[in-house]
Amino acid sequence: FDHRVLDGATADAFCVAVKETLENWS
């Protein structure tokens, strides 16, 4: 098991969620 795969997917999903939140604030 490569933890980098999970960390990468989690970080990507987190960035997408943050981006959507910031766009909704505008």
Nearest to 23 by CA among 11, 8, 15: 15
- Say yes or no to pLDDT of 17 above 80: yes
The domain tally of the chain equals 1
Read off the pLDDT band of 1 (50, 70, 90). Answer: low
The domain in which residue 11 lies consists of 1-26
In this prediction, residue 6 has a pLDDT band, given cuts at 50, 70 and 90, of confident
25, pLDDT greater than 80: yes
Assigned token pair, 7: 């960390």
In terms of pTM, does the model score above 0.85? no
The confidence score (pLDDT) of residue 21 equals 96
